[in-house]
Amino acid sequence: MSDPNEAARDDVPVDGAENGGADTAADGGADDASTATATGAFAFSPEREEKFQELVRRYPTAKSAIMPTLWLCQDEWGWLKPGVPEWVAERLDVPLSAVYEIIHFYTMYYVENPGKVNIQVCRTASCHLMGAQTIVEHLKKRLGIEPGQTDAEGFFRLEEVECLGACGMAPMLQVGKHYYENLTPEKVDELLDQWRRDG
């Protein structure tokens, strides 16, 4: 199983060289080198390492453990920094393609830094009926960014997301593990101030 994927990984810089000329080849080479060193440089905190060992022990297959391992990485570093997917593949001894398949299919794994405060406003059905658009418009105006963008400092990011299961408390938004429900523009202003203060 691992052979074809090993081959695929070796192919990456070669493809880059063929398609992109000298610059890309140099980049590819540099990426490769930084990945190799970066992979060695990653380490979980002791508590997360313990959690990782536990899930490796408890999950019936290594592939099953990819999702929880990616979550641990995201808890550790905030997002999946370059080199982390490779590191996860190595630690679980699964093909890198299997890790990327997960990262790209699911919406909650970030391969780009989502900023310090990632504001996710629910846009679906009940929230739509109860004024989600007003909340989004207010946030756009306050932050000066469109949904899908991060502000210049990399502090706030704004996203419109699908139903978060808080329909009776609409409109609502999520930041990290927290839900903020029954929103009004005034409440949103208070939250923005609070997040700013907490830095």
Partner 1 sequence: MADFPKILSENWDVENSHTLEVYESHGGYVALKKVLTGDKITPEALREEVKTSGLRGRGGAGFPTGVKWGFVPQNIDKPKYLLVNADESEPGTFKDRFIMDYDPHMMIEGSILSSYAINANDCFIYIRGEYGWLVDRLEEAIEEAYAKGYLGKNILGSGFDCEMIVHKGAGAYICGEETGLINSLEGLKGQPRIKPPFPAVVGFLDCPTIVNNVETVASVPWIVNNGANAYAAIGTEKSTGTKLFSVSGPVKRPGVYEIPLGLPMKELLMGNDYCQGMKDGVELKACIPGGSSVPILNAEETLACNVDYESFAEHGTMLGSGGCIVVGNDANMPELLKNLIQFYHHESCGQCTPCREGTGWLDMILERMLNGEGRPKDLELLDRIGNNMMGTTICVLADAAVMPCQSFIKKFRDEFEALLPDMEEPEDYIPTTSSAELPR
Q: Which residues bind partner 1 (CB under 8 A)?
A: 55, 58-68, 70-71, 94, 98, 101-102, 105-109, 123-126, 128-130, 161-170, 174, 176-179
Nearer to partner 1, 13 or 69 (CB): 69
Nearer to partner 1, 144 or 168 (CB): 168
User: Radius of gyration (Cα) for the chain, nearest Å?
Assistant: 20
Residues 6+ apart with CB under 8 A from 2: 93, 95
Q: Which residues pair with 161 in a beta bridge?
A: 122
Q: Which residues pair with 158 in a beta bridge?
A: 119
Nearer to partner 1, 130 or 139 (CB): 130
CB of 99 to partner 1, least distance (A): 9
CB of 176 to partner 1, least distance (A): 7
Nearer to partner 1, 2 or 106 (CB): 106
Cα distances (Å, whole numbers) of residue 166 to 157, 191, 195: 21, 18, 21
CB of 109 to partner 1, least distance (A): 6
Q: What letters, b where the CB count within 10 A reaches 16 and e where it falls short, cover 100-123?
A: bebbeeeeebbeeebbbbbbbbbb
CB of 63 to partner 1, least distance (A): 3
